[in-house]
Amino acid sequence: MIRTINIKEEVLITMQIVGDLSFAWQLIDSFTSIMQESIRVNPSMVTKLRATFLKLASALDLPLLRINQANSPDLLSVSQYYSGELVSYVRKVLQIIPESMFTSLLKIIKLQTHDIMEVPTRLDKDKLRDYAQLGPRYEVPESSRFCFQCLKPKPWNIPGLWLLAHPRDQRPP
């Protein structure tokens, strides 16, 4: 197909350079707060961000390919460096999950200890409405929604990176 269209080798190289995402390491950091806010609003967004992290992992391919083509002994150290950078960035983005979970849990604790009154064992029918406290009792499951949604995702296997979605998950052998 390339010969049919008569695309020169130089154009193909230019397209490969433009399609490369290695420049994104400098730009992606500006989107961290946007990603974190979208996770805070909708925890299922984590699964959608997986594609972004996969693209970042693919950004490692071109520099490592060039080093491998040069038969450089630095391939392993450079690979470990880039993998470490990717892991630290993913951790930075996903750090919002435990922060939000503990914020939700703190809100639940405050509701249960300060706002919601204990219901006595014997209660007059007239006072039942006072002890119902429907507003604060509704906020408890609403606040715990974030925690339950964060426990749903499965572990991801991104080349050079393994994320555990739940502590019971095991690392692959």
Domain range for 70 is: 23-165
Q: What are the backbone dihedrals phi and psi of residue 95, each rounded to the nearest 5 degrees, phi first? A: -60, -20
Give pTM, 2 decimals: 0.64
**Is the sign of the CA dihedral 27, 32, 33, 34 positive or negative?**
positive
Q: How many domains does the chain have?
A: 1
Q: Residue 139 to residues 70, 81, 107, 113, 144: CA-CA distances in angstroms?
A: 60, 45, 9, 13, 9
| Residues 121-166 pLDDT 10s | 888 888 888 788 888 888 888 878 777 776 665 565 655 554 444 4
Residue 6 lies inside a defined structural domain of this protein: no
Residue 71 lies inside a defined structural domain of this protein: yes
Is 161:90 a contact under the CB 8 Å cutoff? yes
User: In which residue ranges of the chain is pLDDT below 70?
Assistant: 1-5, 15-25, 150-173
Q: What are the backbone dihedrals phi and psi of residue 84, each rounded to the nearest 5 degrees, phi first? A: -65, -40
